[in-house]
Structure 1
Amino acid sequence: MPLPRLRLTPGVSHGPLDGAWWPRCNALELELPALIGSLDPAVGTVTRVTVDTASWPDVPRTVMAPDHVIEVVRTDLAAEAHAITVDCGTVGRWELLVIPPDEPAGAAARLLTAAADPENPLSAPRILALAENELGAEAAGESEGGPGPR
């Protein structure tokens, strides 16, 4: 599996997110081992991830990672939509925005950058909703022929 498309907040995060992850497909069992392998091992062994059922409807209860099994917890909480919590027990955790695999590359790049900004105050659902509104506004401008003559 290629390296994950991931951007983490440098240093200590002060916002609700610690970065963003842009998986290539919706198969968590294929994507998760690469994500886990790219995280800082000093934080500890990943023991559990929490994902929202809307983004990952058919996720298994466990996923194999190198040398261990990761428990997968599903949640229906709106506050955790479009996010994954990567938990290392009592040692540490990451809260990451999950960018939909079919997101256009330009929009995904902006989301990766915004979510990893240490000053970002937005949750995963809020940052994704704002990006969707921006894309909708851009598409409406294009369909109307854009700006008028100069």
Structure 2
Amino acid sequence: MDPRRTPAENVPADDGHTYRMPLPRLALTPEVSHGPLDGAWWPRCDALELELPSLVAALEPDRFTTVAVTVDPAQWPEAPHTVMAPGRVITVEPTRSAGEEHVITLDCDTVGRWVLLVVPPQEPADEASRLMTAAADPELHLGASALLTR
């Protein structure tokens, strides 16, 4: 690299380099879930508009299908009603169902529906890993509140 140039100056304008969100931290049940949860998601931050596109992309390969997400407003107080993602608009609906404060529900019209435990972003890695493994265990039939208080 030429020491008189900044790194940005050394990148050709047409190199196709774009920023990509990291893959979501996600654990899903290996088969169709028969419990209250289909797995767990551990977002990196509380900004749903930043986290949701990569989660949806991991679950829904077709960019042009309809995706609706349900979240608890207590956990996501600043959640937007829509989130823009490449090739789609994700609809976000608040819900206040009992026991659903640490759950996100994703309805993808061509693939299916997922109910995921949301591991708090600030959770230590070892505890987050334990929660994600438990939520994705098809033999363990615990809901989000029970997993978080265990």
After superposition, the C-alpha distances for 1:52-89 in whole angstroms (9 at most, x for unaligned) are 11110010000112211111001122221100000023
**Equivalences, count:** 129
Task: Verify: 1:127 aligned to 2:147, yes or no.
Answer: yes
Moved over 4 A (4+): none
Task: Verify: 1:3 aligned to 2:23, yes or no.
Answer: yes
Structure 1 portions without partners, runs of 5+:
131-150
Among 123, 135, 138, the residue aligned to 1:118:
138
Residue equivalent to 1:103: 123
Task: Verify: 1:62 aligned to 2:82, yes or no.
Answer: yes
One-letter amino acid of the counterpart of residue 105, structure 2? T
How many angstroms apart in 2 are the aligned matches of 1:2 and 1:67?
18
Does the 8 Å contact 1:7/1:116 carry over to 2?
yes
How many angstroms apart in 2 are the aligned matches of 1:120 and 1:66?
35
Structure 2 portions without partners, runs of 5+:
1-20
Task: Verify: 1:25 aligned to 2:21, yes or no.
Answer: no
Larger helix proportion of the pair: 1
TM-score, with structure 2 as normaliser? 0.80
TM-score, with structure 1 as normaliser? 0.80
One-letter amino acid of the counterpart of residue 74, structure 1? P
Highest CA radius of gyration, 1 or 2? 2
Percent sequence identity is 65
